[in-house]
Amino acid sequence: MSNFTELDSYLFGQGTHYDIYKKLGAHIQMRKNTKGVCFNVWAPNAEKVYVIGEFNNWNETSHEMERVEPEGMGVYELFIPKVQKGSLYKYLIITKDGRKLYKADPYANYAELRPGTASAVTDIDHFVWSDSEWMDHRRSIGKDEVYEQPMTIYEVHSGSWKRHPGREDDGFYSYHDLEKSLIKYVKDMGYTHIELMGILEYPYDGSWGYQVTGYYAPTSRYGTPEEFAHFVNECHKNHIGVILDWVPAHFPKDAHGLAEFDGSPLYEYADPKKGEHPDWGTKIFDYGKNEVKNFLIGSALMWIEHYHIDGLRVDAVASMLYLDYGKQPGQWIPNKYGDNKNLEAIEFFKHINTLILGRNPGTVMIAEESTAWPKVTGPVEEDGLNFSYKWNMGWMHDFLDYMKLDPYFRKNNHYKMTFAMTYNESEKYILVLSHDEVVHLKCSMLNKMPGLEDDKFRNLMAGYAFMMGHPGKKLLFMGQDFAQAQEWSEARELDWYLLENPNHQKISKWMKELLHIYKRNRCLYELDSSWDGFEWINANDADRSIFSFIRKSKDGKNNLLFVINFTPVERPDYRVGVPKKKTYKLILNSEDPKFFGSDENREVSYKAVKSECDGREYSFAYPLPGYGVAVFKY
């Protein structure tokens, strides 16, 4: 009896076989009291398909696969007795024109360590999870309640976070090593989530995992699938969510990968004007083909449902939405209406986001989308794409442009720090300072800052405070929370030795304090996309480059006032307008000696008096230092 039934064929052909990874690929089974492995692969245009591997000494003709019914589906199957877990294999595909293609299994759950390119037999069904408390809570979160949860994301490239010195191999930290050290670090700092780059298997380290060949396999660079599951399990037990980068936009042309898988453009669009990215040298998935959509949807569901992943950050969304993305005139084909929208990719996003968020309450789908495409996080009923969040690239560019300026010139660019609030309600946003901003001659966050060393650190402190106070969830790339000096490179670990330097220690303590203040105060995350949760006190103090604003909780009982000075000029006579005649308690002060100040005796309580300031009836005086940050609770 075939492993792949008529019902499987029907659902796969409709693009709705949501557990497809349990049928295609290599699965350890018992047949007629014999343990072995059942191999299934989709290759409808192949002439013949063979399984070759360690178990048959890579013999090219000894194990021919059979087409299963209905034949038109093009699924091949072969059960091979006594094949062991860990055994390496590939599919040898004979094309209709007689070529031999040696392909890794698109549905493999494990792969040979690069530079090897074979797939590996494994069993992912027997891991015992113990994160029920986390998962029960996740399922209890309502659709709209998701947006009221705290979210501060620590973006991590596992291969360069830390490394073992002196090892002959790459010295990568394993999933087990990361479990012991990364979780502790993230928990101590106060982040709520880890976002992992480069977990889906990929061949070339320098792609950082954005050119995927194994959409169903955690990379073998850091260990086994079971060890990856254990890492996620431990994150959850420590109340840390896990987000993965997921890349449905394109795939590489590596010979063992998906490109022309059965001798024909199977996974990619057939026409190169639709099926290739000229700039990236990669193939574009055919979103009009049900089986291809099913391949991608099945991958996303496996990570979320099998590996308990809490969300996917979908890479390069804009490249999927626009047919002319990265292309010159003549390199692309308009849609049936004559414009540049990829209608099939739009429907794909509506389908997958609705499906995943509907089946998995409490999870998130995050779009890295860099254009002004409307309603990325809007509901399908209003022609939205139904993502949970969108990276706010506009805020990021404006923020960095402002922060790079000499403070003298900031007064003429004041709007760059206020503009994002004019469109804040249009989407559900995550404010991002990601890996893309600290590589390839872009400088680290510290070295983007103007001035000499002390000025750089104080600028960075002020910038991080503004980011943490501004509406939107947060993402910060590893190393930037202790002011990594070098640009990031995947080829080396972060410069942890910098934490022996007092200035780097202080910026780390500052970021930790900000993260814990964020988690303790509902006003900083409950109403991120509504003016009900934010109010400018003074958005127009351009001459002094000072920003003052309030974050408000739903019940009005947990409110914070932020005052941030973006010049080195002290304002001993500073006065800030406030909405109520209350006592305002200073909870964060950049002049605290544990940060960069020397003010040990600053008052903690400030009582508002009836004195007009900033258009308010009440105000209080606070001596504001150069690059000073003050956060008050009321």
Are 23 and 8 in contact, with CB atoms under 8 Å apart?
Answer: yes
Q: What mean pLDDT comes out for the span 159-167?
A: 92
**pLDDT tens sequence across 2-38:** 889 999 999 999 999 999 999 999 999 999 899 999 9
For 199-217, the pLDDT digits (tens) are 999 999 999 999 999 999 9
Provide the token pair at 231: 């890492």
Of 71, 98, 120, at which residue does a domain stop?
Answer: 120
* Spatial contact of 196 and 148, defined as CB atoms under 8 Å apart: no
pLDDT at 626: 95
Confidence of residue 398 (pLDDT cuts 50, 70, 90): very high
Query: For residue 536, what are the β-bridge partners?
Result: 549
Q: What is the pLDDT of residues 169-182, one digit of tens each?
A: 789 999 999 999 99
1 or 375: whose pLDDT is higher? 375
E strands in 96-180: 100-103, 119-120, 152-157
Q: Please indicate, yes or no, if residue 103 is contained in any of the structural domains.
A: yes
- Mean pLDDT (the chain) is 96
| Residue 169 included in any domain | no
Q: Which of 579, 584, 568 is nearest to 614 (CA)?
A: 579
The number of folded domains in the chain is 2
Does residue 336 have a pLDDT over 80? yes
Q: Which two tokens stand for residue 109?
A: 């759950």
DSSP for residue 302: I
Q: Contact, 528 vs 473, CB < 8 A?
A: yes
> What pLDDT, in 10s, does the model give residues 440-462?
889 999 999 999 999 999 999 99
Q: Which residues of 426-435 are buried (b: 16+ CB within 10 A; e: fewer)?
A: ebbbbbbbbb
Residues forming the active site: 315, 368
* pLDDT bucket at 599, cuts 50 / 70 / 90: confident
Which tokens belong to 122? 């494994």
Identify the three-state secondary structure at position 461.
helix
Residue 563 inside a domain? The answer is yes
Give residue 24's identity as a one-letter amino acid code.
L
339 lies in a domain?
Answer: no
3-state SS record for 475-511: EEECCHHHCCCCCCCCCCCCCHHHHHCHHHHHHHHHH
pLDDT of residue 236: 98
Residue-number span of the structural domain to which 113 is assigned? 6-120
**What are the φ/ψ torsions at residue 196 (nearest 5 degrees)?**
-100, 125
**Domain-terminating residue out of 83, 99, 120:** 120
Q: How far is CA 265 from the centre of its chain?
A: 29
Terminal Cα distance for the chain, rounded: 70
Q: Which of 100, 120, 140 is the last residue of a domain?
A: 120
Cα(271)–Cα(474) distance, rounded to whole angstroms? Answer: 40
CA quadruple 276, 269, 357, 41: dihedral positive or negative?
negative
Tokens of 17: 């076989």
In a domain, 187, yes or no: no
CB 619 within 8 A of CB 608: yes
The confidence score (pLDDT) of residue 72 equals 74
The Cα-based distances of 345 to 21, 55, 251, 327 in angstroms read 22, 41, 15, 17
In the predicted structure, residue 54 carries a pLDDT above the cut 90: yes
Cis peptide before 70 (omega within 30 of 0): yes
CA–CA separation, 414 and 402 (whole Å): 8
Contact 246, 315 (CB under 8 A): yes
For the record, the structure tokens of 110 come out as: 């494990």
Contacts of 296 (CB under 8 A, 6+ apart): 215, 248, 285, 348, 352
| pTM, two decimal places | 0.96
Q: What is the CATH number of the domain that holds 556?
A: 2.60.40.1180
d(C-alpha 155, C-alpha 396), whole Å: 15
Is residue 511 one of the residues assigned to a domain?
Answer: no
What secondary structure letter does DSSP report for 303? I
At 306 the pLDDT is: 98
Taking each continuous run of H as one helix and of E as one strand, the counts in the chain are 15, 29
Paired residues of 624 in beta bridges? 571
Yes or no: say if 160 and 208 are a contact pair by the CB < 8 Å rule: no
Question: So what's the pLDDT on residue 69?
Answer: 77
Phi, psi (deg, nearest 5) at residue 449: -75, 145
Residue 553 pLDDT > 90: yes
**Residue 305 CA to its chain's centroid (Å):** 17
- Is 71 inside any structural domain? yes
pLDDT given at position 598: 80
CA distance 118 to 364: 32
CA of residue 406 relative to chain centroid, distance:
32
Query: How far apart are alpha carbons 511 and 627 in whole angstroms?
Result: 16
Sign of CA dihedral 442, 191, 369, 429: negative
pLDDT band at 168 (very low <50, low <70, confident <90, very high): confident
Q: Which segments within 249-328 are labelled E, that is strand?
A: 276-277, 282-283, 311-314
User: At residue 115, does pLDDT exceed 90?
Assistant: yes
Confidence grade of residue 167 (pLDDT, cut at 50, 70, 90): confident
pLDDT number for residue 265: 98
Inform me whether the pLDDT recorded for 601 exceeds 90: no
Q: 240 near 156, Cβ under 8 Å?
A: no
Confidence class for position 430, pLDDT limits 50, 70, 90: very high
Three-state SS string over 359-428 comes to: HCCCCEEEECCCCCCCCCCCCHHHCCCCCCEEECHHHHHHHHHHHCCCHHHHHHHCHHHHHHHHCHHHCC
Q: Which pLDDT score, from 0 to 100, does residue 121 have?
A: 98
CA distance 482 to 592: 18
Measured on CA atoms in the order 109, 12, 318, 427, is the torsion positive or negative?
negative
Q: Are 518 and 468 in contact (CB under 8 A)?
A: yes
| DSSP-assigned letter for residue 592 | S
Count of residues in the chain: 634
Would you say residue 605 lies in a domain? Answer: yes
Q: Which residues pair with 550 in a beta bridge?
A: 535, 561
pLDDT of residue 283 exceeding 80, the answer is yes
CATH number where 52 lies: 2.60.40.10
Burial class (CB in 10 A: 0-12, 13-18, 19+), 543: exposed
Q: Decide if pLDDT at 146 tops 80.
A: yes
Span 411-435, average pLDDT: 98
Confidence of residue 410 (pLDDT cuts 50, 70, 90): very high
Residues 471-481 have pLDDT tens digits of 999 999 999 99
